[in-house]
């Protein structure tokens, strides 16, 4: 599965990331990690402080990747509305769900301050980044001044995360797409009318 050029710690982290997304913390056993990583027995404890330490490294990596992916779109070209739209419509594996958002449903992750911290920090970062874009859009008369940037940002994040849940429940991406279209319609409808000069 992994090339011989990939280090054992790297294989362990990537295997754990995949398994956490597929099975959650409880369902991710050390044996499954070692098998997926094609690593020898004891290598987890040689490189990490056991399953918890490895899971923390994997969660941090997933959170960093989510931030980087979101920033590529949110910091990209286009008006504030276009960047929000690009974020909402970007390519996703909708039926698999969000690898960070799914961790919030894992009782072992949410009850551990250490494991939950990268998840919480990433969702906070995303809301703050989106709020700044909404405020930028208000300055450019693209979004109504009556909108609260933080509330709209929270709504965008909730729409994406809720869209994943609806899509997984129905086994179809249609519910996610419908939620995105609905939110974009609301944002466009609330835009102030521009007067041509």
Whether residue 194 lies inside any domain: the answer is no
Contact 177, 162 (CB under 8 A): no
Whether residue 178 lies inside any domain: the answer is yes
CA dist 102 and 63 (Å) reads 12
Which tens digit of pLDDT belongs to each residue from 96-124? 999 999 899 899 999 999 999 999 999 99
CA angle 136, 138, 144 (to 5 degrees): 150
Whether residue 61 lies inside any domain: the answer is yes
Whether residue 2 lies inside any domain: the answer is no
Domain that holds residue 87: 8-189
Whether residue 156 lies inside any domain: the answer is yes
Whether residue 111 lies inside any domain: the answer is yes
Number of structural domains in the chain: 1
Which tens digit of pLDDT belongs to each residue from 7-21? 899 999 999 999 999
Reported pTM: 0.89
What six digits make up the tokens of 84?
């929000």
CA dist 24 and 18 (Å) reads 9
CATH number at residue 34: 1.10.357.10
DSSP H or E run through 191: none
Whether residue 142 lies inside any domain: the answer is yes
């Amino acid at each position: 599965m992994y090339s011989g050029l990939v280090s054992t710690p790297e294989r362990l982290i990537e295997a754990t990331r995949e398994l956490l997304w597929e099975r959650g913390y409880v369902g991710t056993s050390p044996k499954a990690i070692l098998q997926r990583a094609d690593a020898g027995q004891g290598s987890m404890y040689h490189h990490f402080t056991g399953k918890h330490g490895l899971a923390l490294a994997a969660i941090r990596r997933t959170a960093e990747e989510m931030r980087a992916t979101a920033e590529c779109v949110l910091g990209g070209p286009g008006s504030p509305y276009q960047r929000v739209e690009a974020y909402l419509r970007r390519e996703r594996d909708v039926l698999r769900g969000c690898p960070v958002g799914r961790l919030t449903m894992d009782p072992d992750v949410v009850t551990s301050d250490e494991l939950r911290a990268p998840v919480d920090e990433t969702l906070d970062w995303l809301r703050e980044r989106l709020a700044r874009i909404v405020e930028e859009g208000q300055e450019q008369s693209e979004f109504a001044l009556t909108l609260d940037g933080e509330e709209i940002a929270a709504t965008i994040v909730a729409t994406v995360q809720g869209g994943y849940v609806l899509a997984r429940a129905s086994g179809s991406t249609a519910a996610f797409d419908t939620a995105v279209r609905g939110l974009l319609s609301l944002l466009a409808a609330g835009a102030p009318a521009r007067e041509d000069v």
